[in-house]
Structure 1
């Protein structure tokens, strides 16, 4: 006897990245997963419908257990794509060799991976004539990487936003856009977004607040955990992400609520500072956290991977003063050889906060 299946049945338990705390098991139903695949297919159709080749090849250089890869796999299986599997994307020369063997049409990745490829001199020699979609997700994309990507490949980087609890589907930039705008786009079909302040009131245009979402792809809650606080009274899921919406309805991702730094009453977003400071000559990579400060409540601290010994704290401070508002400038600079990152390349700021406490026990 065949079991009776329903869209409300639990299909999958997907554990969150745990970048800001304990990893939790998001319950994803059959409906959540089917909806996510259909929403993604509808969003990409204006481009995919124009590709006249027998197979649409999608580069899969993300860990397959990550929700971004899971959503792309669901989309690919639904639409009949071929996957080019790259088990070790950190091996950039090997990755480039894999890409040289066949045409590729869809290239989803995180910003650090796009940047890593661009930094290799052999990447520009690949044939990009088939590339039609470059999808950035998993972490904030930066303007400089997007500009270099477009220049090298001729294909614009399209940024989107999703979360484990929504099968990585949420907002996205219009797939046919040719210009990177630094936003995470607009809600995809069937997704409804509101932005609220700490009192639960909806904020105005261009005002920052917590993004809350509703849709057929959004989880009903977490396994073995009271999830009532994770939803607003009217049923929107609280994402923990701070965003603002402009006059055209495009959303800008400012930061995780837990990562926001409060300097003398001003909200400071680490993502913004990192994005600016990556333009500073001699900074290979950087990460920003807030640390306790007696005078201001919190102060900005930046961890920097320097390119060589010519990079000084003074040159970094001067660049910050020239390019950032005073209260956003890092007051503390520490040079490191590596930054703690998740398998998808997200900076684990919690680990840096722990490192700071361990290094400064008396404070």
Structure 2
């Protein structure tokens, strides 16, 4: 069940009015959802400019889900089920491939995605019910595959914390992907799970440059802070995968080896990389970002992106969407393999255990004799 009411002062249209500069946000557009028939546009006639250098607030509404485990059969994904505690993400990464999912809520993939969030209230109770079903068979649950479970609102709402507690109670394997340092709060749960072979974490690092990171990922922790998180998790015995994602051609690709080395030095046990993906609304949003922040490189970046995708902004083919294809894609794969070898890393973490899964006893349950 999803009940939402939004009261927003943000204008809807192809782009925000001239002079309207949202502070600490990844998108300067609030284009309408691709499913909407009508578009609205705000026009500033010069008499009043209330939106100049404005800072839109983040609003959250509750979603009461009937189920929280989402299944997939994508052949290029290493998991068949996932849980997402939130819709939308306040980190505001300009390149985020999940932005188009906000269209299903009738909202924009631009500023709405960063400022109009939904939290899955009671998700932990729903998850416990799903795990308790007689037909349920345990396989690793991936969290953070769409939006970040440790984005800023998690500090207040604790939806992810409650979900993780349920997984811990059930001895259920979990793989978490995040760039949020708030995961350090949950080391007390993750450490014993990792000791049982039930948990590992992927930390994404796009660039080591704090200035570029602030522009690309305006509300995400700085790169140096993420490296510290890798160290803290590793020191706690939690296996960490460094995720060089996304690799942005002609902008961050030259950092590939340095990012892998820095993550390895801070305790990462494995590493992977993913090329920039620009599905649906993300392509024009990211191109707007390029022209605003790196206009001298915008054409070069997009030229390389199209080379990787057969002349298109994005190719959804399962075989190539994560890495691209062509000579440049092959070169990146070779560079990455060498970086792994130099830093004694692999692409895989130890396989998570599924044989320890159990439904915890409830009051009134018959006790087992074994």
Q: TM-score, normalised by structure 1?
A: 0.32
User: Larger relative CO (CA 8 A, sep 6+): 1 or 2?
Assistant: 2
Determine which structure has the larger strand proportion and give its number: 1
Q: TM-score, normalised by structure 2?
A: 0.31
Determine which structure has the larger helix proportion and give its number: 2
